[in-house]
Amino acid sequence: MSTVLRLKTSDQKTVTIDWDFFYMSEVFKSFLDFCEDVEDEISLENIDSQTVELIKKYCQLTKESQSDWEFFEQLKKEDLFKLVKAADFLEIESLYERCCNKIYNKFINGKDAKKIRKAFYEEEDDYEGVEQLFSEDLRHPLINHSCIKLLTLTGFIDLLNLILACPVSGMMSILDITHCRDGIWVSSIGYVTMIAWTCYCSVQEVMALNRLLEFANKPFCNRLFFGNRSWCWAIYALVYSGLLNTFGPKPFYFYDPYAGGWTYTVIVGTGAGSASSQNNMALLVNGICKSIILVLLYSGTMYFYKLQTKDKRVHKLQKKVTYQSLISAAITISVMFPFIILKISGVGVSKHTPMCLHLLWIAANGSTAYIVIATNPYVKRQLLKVLGFQEVMQHHTATVTPMNNDISNS
Q: Environment class of residue 241 by beta-carbon count within 10 Å: exposed (0-12), middle (13-18) or buried (19+)? A: buried
34 has pLDDT over 60: no
383 has pLDDT over 80: no
283 has pLDDT over 50: yes
Average of per-residue pLDDT across 146-164: 88
CA distance 324 to 393: 29
Average of per-residue pLDDT across 260-276: 64
Average of per-residue pLDDT across 111-128: 64
pLDDT at 294: 93
Q: Environment class of residue 78 by beta-carbon count within 10 Å: exposed (0-12), middle (13-18) or buried (19+)? A: middle
Average of per-residue pLDDT across 334-350: 72
Average of per-residue pLDDT across 89-110: 86
Asked if residues 77 and 122 have their Cβ atoms less than 8 Å apart, the reply is no
At residue 299's C-alpha, the angle toward residues 244 and 376, to 5°, is: 90
pLDDT at 129: 45
Asked if residues 36 and 1 have their Cβ atoms less than 8 Å apart, the reply is yes
Query: Identity (one letter) of the amino acid at 56?
Result: K
What are the tens digits of pLDDT across the range 63-81?
Answer: 777 788 888 888 888 888 8
Domains parsed from the chain with CATH numbers: 5-138 (3.30.710.10), 146-387 (1.20.1070.10)
Paired residues of 345 in beta bridges: none
Asked which of 61-65, 231-235, 403-407 is least confident by mean pLDDT, the reply is: 403-407
pLDDT at 295: 94
Asked which of 96-110, 191-205, 353-367 is least confident by mean pLDDT, the reply is: 353-367
SS3 279: strand
Strand 4-8: give its sheet, edge to edge. Answer: 14-18, 4-8, 42-43
> Average model confidence (pLDDT) for the chain?
77
Asked if residues 7 and 14 have their Cβ atoms less than 8 Å apart, the reply is yes
Asked which of 32-36, 124-128, 298-302 is least confident by mean pLDDT, the reply is: 124-128
pTM score of the predicted model: 0.62
% of the chain residues with pLDDT over 90: 11
pLDDT at 32: 63
pLDDT at 404: 44
pLDDT at 205: 93
CA distance 83 to 87: 6
276 has pLDDT over 60: no
Asked if residues 1 and 19 have their Cβ atoms less than 8 Å apart, the reply is yes
211 has pLDDT over 90: yes
